[in-house]
Structure 1
Amino acid sequence: MPAITFASRHEESPTCSHAAGTAPFDYLPKSSLDRLRKINHFLIHAFQNSISVIQENLTGTYLFLLADTNGVLLSMNYSSDLKAVVEDSPIRPGMFFTAQSCGVNAISVTMDSNEPVVLLPEQHESPYFQSWHCYAAPLFMGSQHVGYLDVSTINADMQGELIAIAKLIPAYMHNCYQSQQTAEVCNKPAVEFTERQLTILEMIAGGLTVKAIALKLKIKECTVNHHKKVIFNKLGVQSSTEAVSIASRMSYV
């Protein structure tokens, strides 16, 4: 098995930048990460559930990573033989997988290209990832872009299997994700919206910005934001994406 080396753990503000291939890496503050993981709890659960199903048929060494649309690591899973290595590595939820944070890597490349990519060990800028053969791709739930998936191995002979596995995971995740959301919607009581709130909710679903909604309805942007806050509270969500998803399943949009 090729040697695997990682940097020691070190944390700084996510606003700082470092030269490619050097430590420390950038991490999201814990309070922000906790909120981000709460917002993406359906996605994280779907990821972990899908990996647990797939892992039953795996014999090699694998590292699975789930990042949000900004490249922040939300969740990870790995084969048992990597436990000590990963726990002693800088890779943990909250890490930014942007090129600015840790040099060119599979997730940063697919973020830039919006296409699936295969990155060989020598193509990683950071020496800490130069044992890995990585496949990364944008992750969608239906038509909604929710983040990025990375599947990595240190065994070059398993690269083909790696890509095949990575292509299976989104299908598993999508089924699990939909099941979770349907179950939650079924348990939600009916929500009462005013006519103005429904109008704004429909506009949000149509992709309009706060400024566009304000211009169209001839109201102030702060008023639109107030209505959005009320809508989010009624639906029990924290983002427009979640609001539209839940509202569509409850037939409000």
Structure 2
Amino acid sequence: MMISNLNNSWVRCFKMGLPKQLEHPQYYADSFILDKESKKHLSLIQNFTKYVNKITDEYYLENSLFILANQQGINLKTVYPIGLKEKVSKMRIKEGCYFTEKSCGTNAISMAMEYKETVVFNGDENYCYFLHKWQSIATPINYPKDKQCFLGILTLDKNHREKYRILLELLQTKLSKKLNENTIPSHYNQGKSLTNIRESVLTLSANGLTIKEISQKLNLSEAAIKYHRTKACQQLCAANITQAIAKSIKFGYISLNTIK
């Protein structure tokens, strides 16, 4: 997320007179609208809940809140561990609250809605104080335009931001595949798999190493690392390296436990 985009959002919040001291969202959809939107996105909500519960159980995510919002920024579903119930209740984050700038100030979901891309926020990049303790990540789901939705994670874990980004990309991939009835690319069925070197490149990339650092660690040229990254993306039908990492986790090429 470009600094100028973040600054522009903060300026808009300031000009509309939004109090930074807000302790919870300002706006909530009425029950009729929430019920209508929930029915419209019923399949998505059900699959979102199923996948998030599976992810949180598998990786013991005790300090993370998962959010599904529609194209208007209405929170359709929240999933979080019981240990966060008091904090979430105090912030009044629940089904029906809006994650728009007008309601919550600058936040990852509102920015993902505006720019239609993955957004990663430090806590203090959120405009309002009630979100300052939470690292946040949001991304759009590849879904028909009339049903555009957004995924978000709020986490108190400040040390593994890249892991949460990858988890969100993994969740996005699963939901997009399920809802758009995509199939695994044919080369998986043909038995082709990533080479050991490409698995290593993806694992090291997931741990935040630069191309130069990876080349030194694997004793290969930077050009070779770029080549293997590009080929891994092509083989996984991924638009970028982050998506390639998410897909490689999904298909079992690398383990999330190897990402620090």
Q: Same fold (TM over 0.5)?
A: yes
> For each residue in 1:194-228, what CA deviation from the matched residue of structure 2 results, as whole angstroms up to 9, or x when unmatched?
xxxxxxxxxxxxxxxxxxxxxxxxxxxxxxxxxxx
Picking from 100, 103, 106, the partner of 2:102 is 100
Give 5+ residue unaligned stretches, structure 2. 1-15, 182-260
Percent identical pairs in the alignment equals 25
Map of 1:44 onto structure 2: 45
Any conservation in 1 of the 2:143–2:149 contact (CA below 8 Å)? no
1:54 equivalent to 2:46? Answer: no
Higher normalized helix content (fraction of residues): 2
Q: Deviations over 1:16-59 (max 9, x none)?
A: x8614336610111111111111111111111011122112222
Taking the aligned partners of 2:67 and 2:159, their CA distance within structure 1 comes to 20
Match of residue 88, structure 2, among 86, 89, 94: 86
Q: Which has the higher mean CA deviation after the structures are superposed, 161-170 or 78-87?
A: 78-87
**1:80 Cα offset (Å):** 2.6
SS in 2 for 1:56: helix
- What is the TM-score with the length of structure 1 in the denominator? 0.59
- Which residue identity lines up with residue 48 of structure 1 in the other structure? T
Q: Which residue of 2 aligns with 1:6?
A: none
Cα 1:24–1:153 shift into 2, 3 Å: closer
Q: CA RMSD in A?
A: 2.1
Matches of 2:55 and 2:25 in 1, distance apart? Answer: 33
* Residue type at the aligned position of 2:92: P
Contact 2:64 2:80 in 1 (8 A): yes
**2:137 equivalent in structure 1:** 135
Task: Return closer, same or farther for 1:178/1:113 CA change in 2, 3 Å cut-off.
Answer: closer
The amino acid of 2:95's aligned partner reads: P
Q: Which residue of 2 aligns with 1:69?
A: 71
Are 1:171 and 2:173 counterparts? yes
Higher alpha-carbon deviation: 155-164 or 65-74: 155-164
The 1:77–1:45 alpha-carbon spacing in structure 2 relative to 1, beyond 3 Å, is same
- Paired residues of 1:104 and 1:124 also in contact (CA < 8 A): yes
**Structure 2 partner of 1:19:** 18
Residue correspondence of structure 1 range 70-219 to structure 2 within 5 A: 70-141=72-143, 146-177=148-179
| Structure 1 equivalent of residue 29 of structure 2 | 28
Structure 1 segments unaligned to the other structure (5+ residues): 1-16, 180-253
After superposition, the C-alpha distances for 1:69-89 in whole angstroms (9 at most, x for unaligned) are: 111110010123212221332
Greater gyration radius: 1
Give the count of matched residue pairs.
163
| Contact 1:138–1:145 (CA under 8 A) maintained in structure 2 | no
Alpha-carbon distance, 1:117 to partner: 0.8
Q: What one-letter code is carried by the residue in structure 2 that aligns with 1:134? A: S
State how far apart, in whole Å, the 2-side matches of 1:152 and 1:109 are: 14
**Structure 1 position 150, deviation (Å):** 0.5
